[in-house]
Structure 1
Amino acid sequence: MILLIDAGNTRVKWALAAPGAQLGAWTASGAATHADMPQLELAWCEAASLHGIRRIVIANVAGNALRVQLEYVLQRCLPDVTPDWFASVPALAGVTNGYSNPAQLGCDRFAAAIAGHALAPDAPVIVVNCGTATTIDAVTADGVFLGGMILPGLGLMASSLARNTAQLPQIAQDGKLPDGFADNTDDAILSGILAAQSGAIEHACAAHHGAACIISGGAAPYIAPMLKVPYRIVENIVLIGLHAAAN
């Protein structure tokens, strides 16, 4: 079994993949916030006991402090398995990294690009991951990662308005939008941040002619219905990319 770990800025997501399993076909999976590391330790120790884990692949964008925590937990659960720390390289798993400095590309974005190319082979693709930040990236039909955009996620947009504008409230990003223009402040904020996110995605799709749009992340169910382009929602796209790379 391979333990795949996506250590993001807010949560740590993981999945267990059997040898030869299809992409995204997990034997087990889960997620926890950074503060819930004991929960992850219990889950991983149980997975190691039940299934046996021979390899660990980790994408970490949350910094060195979280890396140290993950190393400590994994050493307790799987002392004989040395983790592979996934990093952006010039080429891997059929994807060529077109960044001017390939190592500068966030490893989560590189993994998502690999997943997008694996899920939509022989087609141009826009890969969107809607987490703490929203990333929107373009991959050509022959697997060249062209680059993309990074913008604040829904939660960051909403909290920024609430924090920096005295008269505006903090709003829930999962509220229901009214038809037409908003007639109250909460709906106006929600409408604005959803339009900003969906508009950026549509702009990328228009620039990358004929591209399939794959959207993932915790905010994807709120943003996707706003899109005026065809799309496919895929859960845990970074884990799928790690799986494709590990294969």
Structure 2
Amino acid sequence: MGMLLIDVGNTRIKWALTALPVAGELAGAWLESGSAAHGELVALSERWRKLTVTRILISNVAGEHIQERLQTLLETVFGIAVRPHWFASLPQLAGLRNAYRDPAQLGCDRFAAALGAQRLFPQQTLLVATCGTATTIDAVSADGVFSGGMILPGLGLMATSLARSTAQLPHITDHVQVNTLFADNTDDAIISGCINAQVGAIERAFGLLGRQAPGAHVLCVVAGGSAALIAPYLSIAHETVDNLVLIGLQTAAATLC
């Protein structure tokens, strides 16, 4: 028996099965895991039918439509006896205090990512950079306070927006590698601009956080679908973590479920 953790992002659904009780499990120690696009729910349901699940915890930032579809699918696969718990940001949970002006307004994925980062790197000043459809850059203090952050278009969205909104610029999809800062062709200039915009925002936030917490060792935790593309260009202390939101859900589950 296990708990099914589901992270519904803007473009993909990531999931993991963790053993019960979750409080004793190592962070990210999954029995099974996977991911799928929103349009692959039917295939996802076939995979889930093979699992023995007694609890379900879901972070969803993709809106009501996908929530309704997922709710129906879960009822079909596991029956109505296994009711999913839809994760939401709280004023305080698992040793993390949410200092957002309206704690409930904080995206549940950002709160979960902060929980996951704090679990992996306890009692450290953290900058949590989640690089997906949007890039979010959030600050967590060493004593467990989520103070807030910033949101900007993600790497893919930034490049797509530039291509769509600017005449005659190509749409970059096949590669995102910066060979030189000052590119001598348009494709590489777009790539350089988008990568360096992401890196610049993260490194600026890192510097500001360090000045706000003098003497603290600040660590940047990089996660999300574009993390592997952005992290190599960072010149600051950082760790790349896969499935950070799922680790946060695993952390929350010990208290919520």
**TM-score for both structures, normalised by structure 2:** 0.92
Is 2:18 the partner of 1:17?
A: yes
Is 2:71 the partner of 1:71?
A: yes
CA distance in 1, matches of 2:40, 2:245: 20
Give the AA of the match of 2:48.
Answer: W
Is 2:152 the partner of 1:148?
A: no
User: What is residue 213 of structure 2 aligned with on the other side?
Assistant: none
User: What is residue 162 of structure 1 aligned with on the other side?
Assistant: 163
Give the AA of the match of 2:179.
Answer: P
User: What is residue 223 of structure 1 aligned with on the other side?
Assistant: 230
The 1:38–1:31 alpha-carbon spacing in structure 2 relative to 1, beyond 3 Å, is same
Give the AA of the match of 1:71.
Answer: Q
Residues 67-87 of structure 1: per-residue CA shift (max 9 Å, x gap): 001111100111120001000
Identical pairs, percent: 54
Gaps of at least 5 residues in structure 2 are: 211-216
Residues 201-225 of structure 1: per-residue CA shift (max 9 Å, x gap): 1011111113111101110111001
SS at 2:49 equivalent: helix
Which residue among 222, 233, 237 is the counterpart of 2:244?
A: 237
CA distance in 2, matches of 1:198, 1:77: 42
User: What is residue 5 of structure 1 aligned with on the other side?
Assistant: 6
CA distance in 2, matches of 1:165, 1:127: 32
Give the AA of the match of 1:70.
Answer: L
Contact 1:155 1:173 in 2 (8 A): no
Residues 180-204 of structure 1: per-residue CA shift (max 9 Å, x gap): 4211000000000000001111011
Q: In the TM superposition, what are the counterparts of 1:164-243 in structure 2 within 5 Å?
A: 164-172=165-173, 174-209=175-210, 210-243=217-250
Q: In the TM superposition, what are the counterparts of 1:96-115 in structure 2 within 5 Å?
A: 96-115=97-116
Contact 1:137 1:147 in 2 (8 A): yes
Contact 1:158 1:173 in 2 (8 A): no
User: What is residue 30 of structure 1 aligned with on the other side?
Assistant: 34
State the superposition RMSD in angstroms. 1.0
User: What is residue 138 of structure 1 aligned with on the other side?
Assistant: 139
Q: CA deviation at 1:176?
A: 2.6
Contact 1:174 1:222 in 2 (8 A): no
CA distance in 2, matches of 1:28, 1:232: 23
Gaps of at least 5 residues in structure 1 are: none
CA distance in 2, matches of 1:58, 1:125: 24
CA distance in 2, matches of 1:174, 1:134: 19
Provide runs of 4+ in structure 1 moved above 3 Å: none
CA distance in 2, matches of 1:38, 1:131: 24
SS at 1:24 equivalent: coil
Which residue among 37, 42, 46 is the counterpart of 1:42?
A: 46
